[in-house]
Structure 1
């Protein structure tokens, strides 16, 4: 079993903290006119939004965290690591192309859709079918994580289409996607089969 460096734990725990903290601070800066239940995170990052610099920075840091975690997650299958890293790169692109304050943006929306898809499928692509695999890389938890992310993403699309609780749905899927890398890294570090001794 290849070891996971402890810096991967730092990057994986930073991702959800920065994302959730970012949307909370940006929403406070936006004021009572912003409704987190119905309005998306992209609204907070839009050009002209009061907290756009906070949300943009949070998305950029999130992307970097996922890329760093993908580098350190050595026990995971390579396709999963590539998908996680590419999902991080997509999040970074989302930060670089914020939507205008007048509405949606094809570039922003496309980058976000690619990121959603990659971060939804990476758990099942990273799965290790050997019985000695850490819990977070076993097939059942991996498939469960991917299923939850896909179902919540579908809910988000439905709410977006019908002007419903798109903000709540988006926060659920993005929270799940930002937390799962931490769960996997933590399970790898706690796995009894990992090598003993200091990690790089």
Structure 2
């Protein structure tokens, strides 16, 4: 098994920081009119929003972080690395397609949904079924992470349709998706691959 690039700890660790920091600062710039419990992150990234550039920059930085992590996470199975990298590309595209100040945007919503799906399935696609795999790449933790992300994404969709806690649900799923790459990288660095013994 190949070792993970040590710089991937920085790229994966920065992902939740830039995302959560971005929506926090953008919400502060927006002021009391913005309710983070009932309004989505997309509202902060909409044209005309006070924190437009902050949230847009955070989404783009998040995408770059995921791309770099996918590149450096060599112990993960290739399909998982591809899905993580594609999720990073989706985040960058979302940053380039901000929604309008009022109403929805089919392009923004579609790319966001694709990004959610890719970042939800990458853990299970990256799993290594060999017994010596680091904890974060073992089947049970990987499947658990994917399940939690899919359930929280489903909750977000329900809230979007019924109204209510849209912001809370979206922040839960995006926080989980931004944090899991760091957990995987840290577990790979904690349990590096053992050198093969001499051949007999």
TM-score (norm 2): 0.96
Report the Cα offset of residue 104 of structure 1. Answer: 1.2
Q: RMSD in angstroms over aligned alpha carbons?
A: 0.8
Structure 2 gaps of 5+ residues are 196-200
CA distance in 2: counterparts of 1:141 and 1:49, whole angstroms: 38
Report the Cα offset of residue 193 of structure 1. Answer: 3.3
What CA deviation, in whole Å up to 9, does each residue of 1:151-189 have, x standing for no partner? 000000000101110000000000000000000000000
| Match of residue 22 from structure 2 | 22
Q: Is the 8 A contact 2:2 2:193 kept in 1?
A: no
| Match of residue 198 from structure 1 | none
CA distance in 2: counterparts of 1:102 and 1:116, whole angstroms: 23
CA distance in 2: counterparts of 1:136 and 1:2, whole angstroms: 15
Structure 1 gaps of 5+ residues are 196-200
| Match of residue 4 from structure 1 | 4
| Match of residue 51 from structure 1 | 51
Q: 1:90 aligned to 2:109?
A: no
Across the two proteins, how many residue pairs are aligned to each other?
Answer: 195
| Match of residue 142 from structure 1 | 142
Moved over 2 A (4+): 192-195
Q: How does 1:29-40 map to 2 (within 5 A)?
A: 29-40=29-40
Q: Is the 8 A contact 1:2 1:194 kept in 2?
A: no
Q: How does 1:97-116 map to 2 (within 5 A)?
A: 97-116=97-116
What CA deviation, in whole Å up to 9, does each residue of 1:73-102 have, x standing for no partner? 000000000000000000000000000001
